[in-house]
Amino acid sequence: MTALICVLAVAGVVATMPGTAYAEPKPPRSLEDVHKEVESLYRQAEAATDAYNAANEAQRSQEKSIAEIAKSAAEAQERMNRLKNQAGSLARAQYRDGSMPPQVRLLLSGSPESFFDGAALTHKGQAATRGLITQVAAAQKAIDGYAKAAGERWKTLDGERRKKEGAKKEIEAKLAAAKELESKLEEKERERLRLLEEERARQAQQKWLSSDAVKGAALKGSGAATAEGKRAVDFATAQIGKNYVWGAEGPDTYDCSGLTLKAWAAAGRAIPRTSQDQWRLLPKVDLKDMRPGDLIIYFGDASHVGMYVGDGAMVHAPRPGRQVTIAGAGSMPVLGVVRPG
């Protein structure tokens, strides 16, 4: 009996020890929660993609600048070498001509006129020497300036490469997390998730079309498009079905701003690379005045962009795992509209 009591007592102590109690199993996550988390991860990846693209553009700019500086430095060095050769030749000539005092050269000269002609030439040679010395100093200063500028550009380039690499790691981490979350869903759940996304987009589009900001203006025909805008729309819609790949600018894959960049390039207009710079630098247009070819910027951080095609629709490269497609222009939170041309 005593032994039984001891066993029961020990069992009671073990049951109350920290870490030994069994936790209640977590309730299964709703598809709604999964949808929110997946969308959040893809949104964060897209924002990081914009940072990656911006750093990539800055890196290209710095590399071009360094190449230009190197070319200018090489030209300055070549000029310096020519000046030094000229200075050396002039110095040797003056050494030969100036080896005798002026009085002796006057006595040995055939006439005073020839002596004074020679003296004038000597003064000219001295002036030329001083001029060469000034030019050499200027060339050296230019070379030093190019070296300093190149050093500063290299530092900036290194910083942009670090930003780019950091953004790349963030993108890959967010995409991996989203894919892992989706991979845990059964086939039927993945289909339900797809339908849920479509329903959310449809509801957002209807709400947008009935908003005071739009009031049917988005349903105007596409006849208002300029020739350039029509070419941009034709290019963008011709890419429908091609995969989204972050950082891609075509011709086989695109990210959202890579698509709008190339579409307007095909129309003969250069625009900024990222959706954030497109929002920041291009002229803004009221929603009621937008026309096909205009760019619709989405989300508060301007991390997504699509191209308006008329009739309340836009073409865009949505996200990884999706293809370039037509969607409702109001299917995502609209930040504003910009017009490349």
What confidence score (pLDDT) does residue 74 get? 86
- Residue 299 domain-assigned? yes
Q: How many domains does the chain have?
A: 2
Residues 6+ apart with CB under 8 A from 140: 80
Question: Is the model's pLDDT at 30 over the cut of 70?
Answer: yes
pLDDT at residue 257 in the model: 96
Q: Return the pLDDT at 96.
A: 62
In a domain, 17, yes or no: no
Query: Both 163 and 35 in a single domain?
Result: yes
Lowest mean pLDDT: which of 85-89, 136-140, 156-160, 198-202? 85-89
Mean pLDDT (the chain) is 80
Quote the percentage of the chain above a pLDDT of 90.
33
Domain membership of residue 40 (yes or no) is yes
CATH number assigned to the domain comprising residue 213: 3.90.1720.10
Query: What mean pLDDT do residues 102-113 have?
Result: 49
Q: What is residue 336's predicted lDDT score, i.e. its pLDDT? A: 95
293 in the same domain as 205: yes
Q: Which of 148, 181, 214 is the endpoint of a domain?
A: 181
Rounded to two decimals, the pTM is 0.68
On whether both 239 and 282 belong to a single domain, the answer is: yes
Pairing of strands 304-310, 313-316: antiparallel
The dihedral formed by the CA atoms of 189, 192, 194 and 196, expressed in degrees to the nearest 10: -130
Q: Which residue has the tokens 């209807």?
A: 206
CA dist., res. 62 & res. 330, Å (int):
38
Q: What are phi and psi of 267, to 5 degrees?
A: -90, 0
Find out whether 45 and 246 touch, Cβ atoms under 8 Å. Answer: yes
**Which of residues 122, 146, 181 is at a domain's end?**
181
Are 238 and 159 found together in one domain? no
pLDDT (tens digit per residue) in 295-304: 999 999 999 9
Q: Specify the range with the lowest mean pLDDT, choosing from 71-75, 127-131, 316-320.
A: 127-131
Domain boundary among the residues 181, 215, 235 is at 181
Q: Which residues is 305 bridged to in the sheet?
A: 297
- The whole-number pLDDT of residue 324 equals 97
Determine, yes or no, domain membership for 99.
yes
CATH of the domain at 149: 1.10.287
Residues 158, 59, single domain; the answer is yes
How far is residue 340 from each of residues 41, 199, 261, 284, 327, measured CA to CA in Å?
A: 30, 32, 10, 9, 21
What is the C-alpha R_g of the chain? Answer: 37
Same domain for 196 and 315? yes
Mean pLDDT to the nearest integer, 70-97: 74
> Residues 108, 196: one domain?
no
Best mean pLDDT range from 50-54, 166-170, 226-230: 226-230
* 241-267 per-position pLDDT tens digit: 999 999 999 999 999 999 999 999 999
Q: Which residues are catalytic?
A: 256, 304, 316
Range of the domain at 89: 31-181
Residue 176 and residue 208 in one domain: no
Most confident of 79-83, 202-206, 231-235: 231-235
Q: Is 60 exceeded by the pLDDT of residue 101? A: no
Asked if residue 249 and residue 125 are part of one domain, the reply reads no
For 213, the token pair is 């900001």
pLDDT at 87: 67
Structure confidence at residue 5 (pLDDT) = 40
